[in-house]
């Protein structure tokens, strides 16, 4: 049973905590998350019987949150009407169908006895639904319901998060994906100082025991001109997670540009980390030094 969650509106960055016991303003009653389902594409075998699995697609899932708004109490124990209105207005502004919401729950980490934060994103299907009976909507309490659809039906867990400097060489780190699905990496690489041409920056993931390559991307920013010229303080942002694939150049003034022209693709796919294999994340620099912030998120079908 889920007794504590944090909801964050990813557009406004406003957060609301729902708890079954300790919160004084919003009390969680229950969360219902649909089971994960899949569709299979089959291909007939060239025999008298049987099919081969051609593709598996995980479907979206829905969730429903039921909670209560409570007012602050006056000194004499009566409900404070103004606080009730303020807290209801916060829910009205928070749940908007065009704004994605991130749900965070604490659950046991599969790799330890401690708890970790799992995140699940969803789009509200409507504005909040409020109680319509005297039992569900009165001066002491008001029930509200949030229903949503998870376009990405998987729970996300931040497993690897490191910050380090790479200068004239290679900085390897070991990654192990304990999740249910192959995953990508997120790297922010900031040029710390000037550079000597030719400047190259290579990001690679490979199996430690198998030596199999799971993607190589090489940046050659010194070959570019104009807005794509790399300067000290500029950041190359690389995201290879499914559905989030992106590479951009963030300039010192905050302007963001597509950095695809500066990439040399060594493999046909984006970098990924398979499930259950020890891998090396190797970032190699020639011609300068970079401050690197690397992250790897794992994805779970349930927690």
The DSSP output letter for 128 is P
**What's the CA dihedral at 164, 107, 246, 281 to 10 degrees?**
40
- Tokens read off for 66: 């039921």
Query: Which of helix, strand or coil describes residue 22?
Result: coil
Average pLDDT over residues 130-152: 95
- Within this chain, do residues 167 and 190 fall inside the same structural domain, yes or no? yes
- Within this chain, do residues 23 and 144 fall inside the same structural domain, yes or no? yes
Runs of H (alpha helix) within the chain: 81-94
- Within this chain, do residues 151 and 167 fall inside the same structural domain, yes or no? no
Domain C-terminal end among 156, 184, 210: 156
Give one DSSP letter per residue of 158-202, joined into a string.
EEEEEEEEEEEEEEEEEEEB-SSS-B--EEEEEE-S---SSPEEE
- Could you tell me if 249 and 235 are in contact, meaning their C-beta atoms sit under 8 angstroms apart? yes
Q: Residue 237 is part of which domain span?
A: 158-297
Q: Tell me the pLDDT band of 266, cut-offs 50, 70 and 90.
A: low
In a domain? residue 302: no
Q: How many CA atoms lie within 13 A of 104 on its CB side?
A: 13
- Calpha distance 173→205 (Å, rounded): 10
- The pTM assigned to this predicted structure is 0.87
Instruction: Report pLDDT digits (tens) over 204-220.
Output: 999 999 889 998 888 87
- Within this chain, do residues 53 and 162 fall inside the same structural domain, yes or no? no
Domain C-terminal end among 131, 156, 181: 156
- Tokens read off for 98: 């065009």
- Give the chain's domain count: 2
- Within this chain, do residues 236 and 151 fall inside the same structural domain, yes or no? no
The DSSP output letter for 88 is H
pLDDT at residue 171, rounded to an integer: 77
What number of other Cβ atoms are within 10 A of residue 123's Cβ? Answer: 15
- Within this chain, do residues 168 and 122 fall inside the same structural domain, yes or no? no
- Within this chain, do residues 219 and 89 fall inside the same structural domain, yes or no? no
The DSSP output letter for 232 is T
**Of 290, 78, 100, 285, the residue nearest 202 (C-alpha):** 285
Q: How many CA atoms lie within 13 A of 30 on its CB side?
A: 3
- Could you tell me if 20 and 49 are in contact, meaning their C-beta atoms sit under 8 angstroms apart? no
Domain C-terminal end among 137, 156, 175: 156
In a domain? residue 303: no
Long-range contacts made by residues 204-207, C-beta under 8 angstroms, separation at least 24? 204/271, 204/280, 204/281, 204/282, 204/283, 204/284, 205/175, 205/271, 205/272, 205/273, 205/279, 205/280, 205/281, 205/282, 206/279, 206/280, 206/282, 207/274, 207/277, 207/278, 207/279, 207/280
Instruction: Report pLDDT digits (tens) over 35-87.
Output: 999 999 988 888 778 888 888 889 999 999 999 999 998 999 898 999 999 99
Instruction: Report pLDDT digits (tens) over 224-245.
Output: 555 567 888 999 999 999 888 8
**What's the CA dihedral at 218, 221, 223, 225 to 10 degrees?**
150
Instruction: Report pLDDT digits (tens) over 1-30.
Output: 788 999 999 999 999 999 998 888 999 999
């Amino acid at each position: 049973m889920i007794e504590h969650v944090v909801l964050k509106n990813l557009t406004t960055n406003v957060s609301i905590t729902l708890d079954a016991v300790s919160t004084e303003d919003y009390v969680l009653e229950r969360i219902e998350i649909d089971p994960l389902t899949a569709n299979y594409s089959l291909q007939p075998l060239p025999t008298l019987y049987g099919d081969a699995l051609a593709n598996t697609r995980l479907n979206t899932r829905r969730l429903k949150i039921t909670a209560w708004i409570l007012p602050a109490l006056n000194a004499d124990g009566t409900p404070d009407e103004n606080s009730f209105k303020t807290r209801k207005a916060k829910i009205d502004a928070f749940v908007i169908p065009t704004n994605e919401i991130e749900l965070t729950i604490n659950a046991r980490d599969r790799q330890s006895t401690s708890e970790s934060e799992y995140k699940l994103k969803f789009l509200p299907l409507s504005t909040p639904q409020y109680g319509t009976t005297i039992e569900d909507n009165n001066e002491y309490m008001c029930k509200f319901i949030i229903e949503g659809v998870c376009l990405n039906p998987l729970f996300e867990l931040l497993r690897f998060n490191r910050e380090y400097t790479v200068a004239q060489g290679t900085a390897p780190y070991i990654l192990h994906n304990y999740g249910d699905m192959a995953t990508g990496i997120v790297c922010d690489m900031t040029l710390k100082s000037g550079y000597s041409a030719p400047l190259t920056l290579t990001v690679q993931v490979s199996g430690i025991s198998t030596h199999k390559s799971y993607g190589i991307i090489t940046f050659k920013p010194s070959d570019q001109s104009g807005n794509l010229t790399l300067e000290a303080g500029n950041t190359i942002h690389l995201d290879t997670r499914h559905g989030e694939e992106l590479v951009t150049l963030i300039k010192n003034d905050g302007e963001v540009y597509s950095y695809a022209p500066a990439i040399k693709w060594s493999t046909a796919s984006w970098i990924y980390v398979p499930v259950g294999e020890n891998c090396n994340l190797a970032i190699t620099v020639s011609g300068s030094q970079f401050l690197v912030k690397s992250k790897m998120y794992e994805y779970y079908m349930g927690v």
